[in-house]
Chain A
């Protein structure tokens, strides 16, 4: 599961933010990290929902890193 989640997120980042370079599990998704804006985060949320049926952005705490997203699915 973890590998699949990481693959989906990295493919998404490679498409919308090719300039972001390598994304580790600790790279911040926004601002100085990957640099996703709110609409790109919204798009990632839809991609994850399509792929896994649920979406970590639906919760109270917004995921800040790839690790947060992985944790959402692994602990779900």
Chain B
């Protein structure tokens, strides 16, 4: 991480590292902040800190400083003060770095110290960079879609190693669509810095602001969830403005519906469209660029030498990753040579691994297991549907029924869409047909991913 900034500042110091609507920070400027913060962190004496801030440049500088000194940083999600304090307690932090007005020293629990971020970054660097520590921890919190958030322990050495394939590409401008507290955001950041490219980081990181940044700030590359891309396409249709000139579109974080790949390819004809299969726990498994949904079954034949290998066990994808997490917070290290279930259910069809959904998202309709993604994909292809969320709705007759929430296009006839959805699903097995269709203004998402579980 810090090594990328040092390299960038040495080869092209004036090249923009981070761009927002308000400012541009060069590699040299970002490195100066990071080296100063590294000095400040060394003086601070803490071996772990929680960071509650979300402006990209300061956050990146502090993460780089931590990576240089071996201090574990946990970037907290951009939540309210109450949730932030809950996470501080849950993960046993005693130092919170923030400039937020709603997180004064007096609001912190006893024994927890507040340190200003701006002060850390303004510290002059006092010594020449030394060797990097052997142990360089970083803590990423999961989004908590399956319960309380978990801490996933990473090591900067492994994370940097996962970017070994990245080629220099200084002219690329990557849009940051994820939060840097998310593992996917971290991956985009590492890719950008490894390539010596530019990170475009508008706030907040929603599709509307993303589209505006694509148009105004010269974005050429973007990586986001399928849900994000669906909303971005809806924004694009609704505002009728110019189509951004993207060269690369990457999708990840959720199963990618085939129709969406086609729609993106049509809308952005000059862009390469690829999908990545990655997770906080096991890192990235690489990307597929053939514009077909799912992964090639070739990923199952990588062999023992590969850092990341995959296999299918009873319909579930299993993984062995040497570039993945060190372990969960509060738990022993995991064995990097050990195979682990991913929770992703797959079927092998025509040389592809087709994603059926998460094992935790299966809908049990009177004892029949139904995968929501297949249904969601059909409904998503119905004219007038911007986004669909399929989930199991509790029911006294069958335990659960297949339910769908639909965000309709502006001005669309919902009665006609309702009928079209039922017609599109008429040939599905009876248990798989949607039995509840509701039109909503927005669907439930976490970290730009659709939540496919019913609210408690």
- Residues of A participating in the B interface, judged by any CB pair closer than 8 Å: 37-39, 41-43, 45-47, 50, 55, 57-58
Give the distance to chain A from B396, nearest Cβ to Cβ, in Å: 5
Given known A-B contacts A38-B366, A39-B365, A39-B430, A45 and B396 have beta carbons under 8 A apart: yes
Inside 8 A of B398's CB, which chain A residues have their CB?
A: 38-39, 42
- Bound-state Cα–Cα, A42 to B397, Å: 5
Band of interface residues on B: 10 to 19
Say yes or no: A42 contacts B435, CB within 8 Å: yes
CB within 8 Å: A-B pair count: 40
Of the A-B pairs whose beta carbons lie under 8 Å apart in the complex, a sample of 14, sorted by A's number, is A37-B430, A38-B366, A39-B397, A39-B398, A39-B401, A39-B431, A39-B433, A42-B366, A42-B397, A43-B436, A46-B393, A47-B436, A50-B436, A57-B397
B360 interface hit (Cβ, 8 Å): no
Q: What is the interface of chain A mostly: helix, strand, loop, or mixed?
A: helix
Q: Using CB atoms, name the residue of chain B closest to A43.
A: B435
Inside 8 A of A50's CB, which chain B residues have their CB?
A: 436, 438
Among B407-431, those with CB < 8 Å from A are 430-431
Inside 8 A of A45's CB, which chain B residues have their CB?
A: 395-397
Inside 8 A of B365's CB, which chain A residues have their CB?
A: 39
- Residues of B participating in the A interface, judged by any CB pair closer than 8 Å: 365-366, 393, 395-398, 401, 403, 430-431, 433, 435-436, 438
- Bound-state Cα–Cα, A55 to B393, Å: 14
Inside 8 A of A39's CB, which chain B residues have their CB?
A: 365-366, 397-398, 401, 430-431, 433, 435
Inside 8 A of A37's CB, which chain B residues have their CB?
A: 430
Say yes or no: A46 contacts B435, CB within 8 Å: yes
- Bound-state Cα–Cα, A23 to B398, Å: 24
Inside 8 A of B397's CB, which chain A residues have their CB?
A: 38-39, 41-42, 45, 57
* 13 extra A-B contacts, CB within 8 A, seeds A42-B366, A46-B393: A38-B397, A38-B398, A39-B398, A39-B433, A41-B397, A42-B395, A42-B396, A42-B397, A45-B395, A46-B395, A46-B401, A46-B436, A50-B436
Inside 8 A of B366's CB, which chain A residues have their CB?
A: 38-39, 42
Inside 8 A of B436's CB, which chain A residues have their CB?
A: 43, 46-47, 50
